A and B are shown apart, each in its own frame.
Chain A
Amino acid sequence: MNARRDYSGPFDPNFEHSQFARETLLELLSAYAEYILRIDGFWYLAVMEKWGNDAAFDTDLSVWKRGQMYELKTFTEAFNLHGNDVATVMKYMQVNPWLNLCRYSIDLKNNDHAILTKYTCPTLSALEKEGKGRERIQCGEITPWTFNTIAHYFNPAIKVRPIRIPPRTDYHDICCQWEFKLER
């Protein structure tokens, strides 16, 4: 049976995701990643609207202290990721939903040293559009916490250093750039 390219045509009571072609699954994966980003964002905005940004930020951090560990455990198991070097951290970065939404590159200098560069980022675009300067907290505090948590899950000795982070003055510029390094 040919794989479905989409879900036009009649309703199929025996529908299964595995009937889709690989390209369609990839399309759906992007849609799901967007949903994940959005639901987190909607919660943040709802709390911010009622109790202000400090309350939303505190709650976001508490949520992600649990959420990040769940995500790490789930995706390392699903993709059979094992290791304690920077290369393994980069592999995790490639498969989690968040980077799936960005255009990015990984320059792996060696297995203990990499530079991650984000060229597009829907979160940063939304924050810049909002115009309240929230990218200073999101990119200057939450993202470093997130990247450190991810890196330290694999090896607490890995150092994460922002090379360039928002705010940007030129919207054609890269969104951010990070160094991951393990000194042995």
Chain B
Amino acid sequence: MAQERKDYSGPLDPDLRFESFSKEALVNLLREYQRLYLVLDGHWYTHIKAKYGAQEAFDFDMKVWESMETYEPKRVARALNIQGDDLEAYLKILQTIPAFPGLIYDRTIEMIDKHHARIIVNRCTSLEYFEREGIGREKTICHLMEPQAFQWTASAVNPKIKVTPLKLPPRKSKDEVPHCLWDVRWED
């Protein structure tokens, strides 16, 4: 077997296949795909906000993410053979979708039992970006958008799964962790 590529330095291979990259290189690439996904959304938001105002940008963002979060679970479940529509399937999907990017955010998903779980985000780079930006965007994104976004994903798996925020930004200090905390329950 040819040696695995750690990157793509060296000459062009006209028949390059991603299979030739090492696992480490592929995971790095997945990380960049996760990042690009969020950055692209951020660019659209920023441009619409500059041109048409914050409310319009927010309304569009909600509409876009409602569509995305309905699509995202199905696609990743197909790619990874995640079957079922219970709370466990939802948590597995959450671990692998780029909208909740595990290769970028530092987060823990705890399954307490078949009907109850916790999502702990210890470090959210999006929140850190909003804090640096300093215009309080975390109040709309984290309080209005994120609860909806979590719920859209959960409902796409099964409407009986309910996601509730237990702790949300703004933070009192930059050392405050977790950045946010969520309760997940299966409600019959």
| 8 Å CB contact of A47 from B14, B40, B48, B111 | B48
| Cα distance, A50 to B55, chains bound together (Å) | 14
**Do A80 and B9 touch across chains, with their CB atoms under 8 A apart?**
yes
Q: Which of B18, B67, B75, B83 contacts A42 (CB 8 A)?
A: B67
In the bound assembly, the distance between CA atoms of A25 and B79 in angstroms comes to: 9
Given that A13-B108, A32-B37 are contacting pairs, would A95 and B8 also be in contact in the complex, using a CB cutoff of 8 Å? yes
Total residues of chain B contacting the partner, CB 8 A: 59
Cα(A42)–Cα(B37), bound, Å: 12
B157 to chain A, nearest CB (A): 13
Q: Are A67 and B39 in contact (CB under 8 A)?
A: yes
Q: For the complex, is A2 an interface residue (Cβ under 8 Å from B)? A: no
Q: Report A5 CB to chain B, min CB distance, Å.
A: 8
Assess whether B109 is in contact with A13, with CB atoms less than 8 Å apart. yes
* B68-A38 in contact (CB<8A): yes
Interface residues of B, dominant DSSP? helix
Other-chain residue from A6, A63, A82 in contact with B40 (beta carbon distance below 8 A): A63
Contact B24 A18 (CB under 8 A): yes
Interface string of B141-166 (1 = CB under 8 A from A): 00000000000000000000000000
* Assembly CA distance A77 to B130 (angstroms): 25
Counted as pairs of residues, one from A and one from B, with CB atoms less than 8 Å apart, the total is 168
Instruction: Kindly identify which residue among B9, B16, B32, B64 contacts A75, using a CB–CB cutoff of 8 Å.
Output: B32
Partner of A80, one of B8, B32, B79: B8
| Complex partner residue of A31 from B24, B63, B76, CB under 8 angstroms | B76
Q: A17-B102, A22-B26, A47-B48 are in contact. Are A35 and B19 (CB under 8 A)?
A: no
Q: How many Å from the CB of A75 to the closest CB on chain B?
A: 7
Contact A15 B95 (CB under 8 A): yes
With A18-B27, A36-B37, A42-B67 given, is the CB distance from A79 to B47 under 8 Å? no
Interface of B toward A, CB cutoff 8 Å = 7-9, 11-12, 14, 16, 18-19, 23-30, 32-37, 39-41, 43-44, 47-48, 51, 60, 63-64, 67-68, 71-72, 75-76, 78-83, 88, 91-92, 95-96, 98-99, 102-103, 108-111
Known: A8-B82, A29-B29, A59-B44. 15 other contacts (CB 8 A): A15-B102, A17-B30, A17-B103, A27-B80, A29-B30, A32-B37, A34-B75, A35-B33, A39-B68, A42-B67, A43-B41, A79-B9, A80-B7, A80-B8, A97-B36
11 contacts between A and B (CB under 8 A): A8-B83, A11-B88, A27-B79, A43-B44, A43-B64, A59-B44, A70-B43, A78-B28, A80-B7, A91-B12, A94-B8
A interface with B by C-beta (< 8 Å): 3, 5-8, 10-11, 13, 15-18, 20, 22-36, 38-40, 42-43, 46-47, 50, 59, 62-63, 66-67, 70-71, 74-75, 78-82, 87-88, 90-91, 94-95, 97, 100, 105-108, 111
Nearest 10 A/B pairs, CB to CB? A6-B81, A80-B7, A32-B33, A79-B8, A7-B80, A43-B44, A25-B26, A87-B12, A31-B79, A80-B9
